[in-house]
């Protein structure tokens, strides 16, 4: 059975990783851009911790996923600076009885609040995250300017954390003043399985 898999890697390794994924037999890929927020504390304080990231979504069976991991690890010398994470989502009838060591936390907020979400999440134990620029889909409540519909800009924050810290992270995010307002955002979690890191992580 194929499952939805996600890779979050430095932008410059996108072509190499996609080639690796395709060689292993994965199909139906989609690639979009984001910015990472993990980094040394000093860089974070200076506002220099963000890096350009590629988020790659694809469907893969367990065998294909194992192939991707194995082949990438064999060529690790060529990608020694490629730090990232790859995981598949536990989507099988949303069976929450299955335990997972990692959880994907997804937070969608108005543009400009993503960094505040990450700051709260990091204080609660999140190792880092990725912020993706997005937009709303357009509703009757959206503002019109000279007859032109203005769709609210959004930011989607993706955080992969150990399941044992996920509750603390989500609670910290929900306590942000921003979420005290109606329709201020969405927070949801998904069980992540077959999770492995790329590169060296301290």
pLDDT tens for 34-49 read: 887 755 544 444 444 5
Between 197 and 18, residue with greater pLDDT: 18
In whole angstroms, give the CA distance from residue 191 to residue 168: 16
Q: List domains and CATH numbers for the chain.
A: 2-93+193-197 (3.30.70.260), 102-192 (3.30.70.120)
CA gyration radius, the chain: 18
Q: What pLDDT is attached to residue 45? A: 45
HEC secondary structure over 139-199: CCCCEEECCEEECCEEEEEEEEEEHHHHHHHHHHHHCCHHHHCCCCEEEEEEEEEEEEEEC
**Rounded mean pLDDT, 50-66:** 86
Residue 100 · residue 88 · CB < 8 Å: no
Helix extents (H) in the chain: 14-23, 41-45, 62-74, 114-123, 163-174
Residue 130 · residue 37 · CB < 8 Å: yes
Between 6 and 202, residue with greater pLDDT: 6
**Rounded mean pLDDT, 152-156:** 83
Residue 86 · residue 195 · CB < 8 Å: yes
Residue 188 · residue 152 · CB < 8 Å: no
């Amino acid at each position: 059975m194929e499952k939805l898999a996600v890779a979050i890697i430095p932008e410059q390794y996108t072509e190499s990783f996609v080639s690796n994924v395709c060689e292993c037999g994965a199909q139906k890929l989609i690639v979009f851009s984001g910015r990472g927020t993990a980094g040394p504390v000093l860089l974070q304080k200076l506002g220099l911790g963000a890096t350009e990231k590629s988020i790659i979504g694809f469907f893969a069976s367990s065998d294909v996923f194992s192939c991707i991991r194995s082949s990438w690890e064999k060529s690790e010398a060529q990608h020694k600076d490629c730090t990232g994470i790859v995981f598949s989502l536990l989507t099988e009838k949303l069976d929450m009885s299955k335990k997972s060591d990692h959880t994907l936390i997804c937070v969608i907020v108005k543009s400009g609040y993503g960094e505040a979400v990450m700051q709260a999440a990091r204080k609660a134990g999140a190792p880092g995250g990725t912020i993706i620029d997005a937009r709303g889909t357009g509703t009757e409540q959206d503002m019109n300017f000279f007859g032109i519909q203005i769709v609210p800009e959004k930011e989607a924050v993706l955080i992969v954390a150990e399941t044992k810290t996920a509750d603390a992270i989500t609670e910290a995010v929900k306590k942000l003043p921003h979420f005290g307002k109606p329709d201020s955002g969405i927070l949801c979690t998904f069980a992540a399985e077959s999770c492995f890191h790329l590169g060296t992580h301290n």
